Amino acid sequence: MRIAMIGTGYVGLVSGVCFSDFGHDVVCVDKLEAKVATLRAGGVPIYEPGLEDMLARNVAAGRLAFETDLAAAVKGARAVFIAVGTPTRRGDGHADLTYVYAAARELADVIEDGTVVVTKSTVPVGTNREVGRVITARLEETGRKIRFELASNPEFLREGAAIEDFMRPDRVVCGVESEAAETAMREIYRPLSLRDSPVMFTSLESAEIIKYAANAFLATKITFINEIADLCEKVGGDVKAVARGIGMDGRIGSKFLHAGPGYGGSCFPKDTAALARIGQDHALPMRIVETVIAVNDARKRRMVDKVLDLCGGSVNGKRIAVLGVTFKPETDDMRDSPSLTIVPALVGGGAKVSVTDPQGRREGEALLPGVTWAADAYEAAMGADAVVLLTEWNQFRALDLARLKGVMSGDGFADLRNVYAPEEAAAAGFRYVGVGR
């Protein structure tokens, strides 16, 4: 099948490359000429393990191409996916659908008869039908007699594991309202049937809600265990033991029960905010989701207090080494990362902050002014009064703690991801502070 993918951001690029690896003929289109030039040259503008090699393999096989011309991209396409950004709109928390509707309107001028228009962007309930109305209105303006179908196909990709998630998904959700759309979606995802991956079909509205509900539930699990961690600190419990104990219950599960500095990234913050606004718009407040948002925001500030306490109540004049600034390992994504709250607070408190991250510098240099960048953890910790482990990259999971302590002036270690055992850190000479322990 020939597929066009509008947007070469994280979702669009990963999806387009993976569809081509299924054997489909895929053209990814983007208005940014520099980005398309980079992709045509084999470069990848984001960091995602395995993506660059997969892209090169499918370009070489003739199954994947990149375009700036929308008309050329959709020519002959059976399905066109809209995978543009839906950031949080300033001022009200709603998802900004400007790019989605602009893509739909432009698409109306070039799609061919029978095309299935698939929204892959994360969008509020009712957006897919509005996409249909936008296309229909534009077709009426131009007098084009084109029949098209609608489908909703939300993504469930974890940054750092996106290719595995796409190729071996827990499920694929397809919202459709016609037999033709369902037939097309079944054909697109047919390769997954060989791996027994479930492909479920719902209404457009149900598909839209599933995406938001899934992310809100996972954000709730993270926030829940973070509050339990605070209780553990007060009463002498160990949150890692508690998480293991409740996670072994099959009704709960162990995933997303890792205490830390709060969630961030491209999905959870904006999707929880959007779901809360959707509820308010329908006079059905999402009270749990609203509380999750508030608790998570406060969580990041609480981590600042933890570092301040470790440094005797003030970081003024202290040297602090921060290990990791991306919101999670195996990505270069800085969006809503806890580091964007914690690091500026330390700098604002008078600390001299040295930062290291395997992939975070490209975005981090602009987002974290006033810090010094180091090549690795040991360079960052040179002469430091305290070390703050903020992102659990593999490089930071097996540090030589004695060596780390040896290059420092002080002995503080704030392990905000509970990577190390307190006894292990103490043996190396550290005053150790974890989360919920």
Catalytic residue among 18, 174, 232, 267: 267
Distance CA 320, CA 361 (A): 17
Orientation of helix 127-142 relative to helix 204-235, angle to 10°: 140
Same fold, 2-202 and 239-437: yes
Distance CA 43, CA 39 (A): 5
Distance CA 54, CA 17 (A): 7
Distance CA 286, CA 271 (A): 13
Residue 299 annotated as part of some ligand binding site: no
What's residue 90's pLDDT? 81
Residue 31 annotated as part of some ligand binding site: no
Residue 396 annotated as part of some ligand binding site: no
What's residue 196's pLDDT? 86
Which 8-state DSSP code applies to residue 95? B
What's residue 173's pLDDT? 98
CATH of 239-437, one of 3.40.50.261, 3.40.50.720, 3.40.50.10810, 3.90.1150.10: 3.40.50.720
What counts of helices (H) and strands (E) characterise the chain?
A: 18, 14
Q: Where are the domains of the chain?
A: 2-202, 239-437
What's residue 92's pLDDT? 79
> What is the CATH architecture assignment of 2-202?
3-Layer(aba) Sandwich (3.40)
**What does pLDDT average to over the chain?**
96
pLDDT in tens, 47-98: 999 999 999 999 999 999 999 999 999 999 999 999 999 998 887 788 899 9
Residue 404 annotated as part of some ligand binding site: no
Residue 257 annotated as part of some ligand binding site: yes
Q: Where are the alpha helices (DSSP H) in 61-193?
A: 70-74, 98-107, 127-142, 162-167, 179-188, 190-193
174 is catalytic: no
What is the mean predicted confidence (pLDDT) over 338-354?
97
Three-state secondary structure call for residue 5: strand
**Residue 197 near residue 173, CB atoms below 8 Å:** no
DSSP secondary structure string for all residues of 24-93 = -EEEEE-S-HHHHHHHHTT--SS--TTHHHHHHHHHHTTSEEEES-HHHHHTT-SEEEE----PBPTTT-
What's residue 189's pLDDT? 97
Closest CA to 153 of 198, 94, 201, 108: 201
- % pLDDT > 70, the chain: 100
> What is the pTM for the complete model shown?
0.92
Residue 211 annotated as part of some ligand binding site: yes
Closest CA to 386 of 325, 333, 335, 311: 311
Three-state secondary structure call for residue 191: helix
Which residues, at least 6 apart from 343, have a Cβ–Cβ distance to it below 8 Å?
322, 325, 353, 355, 368, 371
What's residue 324's pLDDT? 97
Residue 256 annotated as part of some ligand binding site: yes
pLDDT in tens, 200-244: 999 999 999 999 999 999 999 999 999 999 999 999 999 999 999
pLDDT in tens, 130-182: 999 999 999 999 999 999 999 999 999 999 999 999 999 999 999 999 999 99
What's residue 1's pLDDT? 94
What is the mean predicted confidence (pLDDT) over 291-309?
96
State how far Cα 164 lies from the chain centre.
Answer: 15
Residue 282 annotated as part of some ligand binding site: no
Name the pLDDT band for 14 (thresholds 50, 70, 90): very high
**Residue 384 near residue 410, CB atoms below 8 Å:** yes
Closest CA to 374 of 407, 400, 342: 407
Residue 335 annotated as part of some ligand binding site: yes
What's residue 266's pLDDT? 85
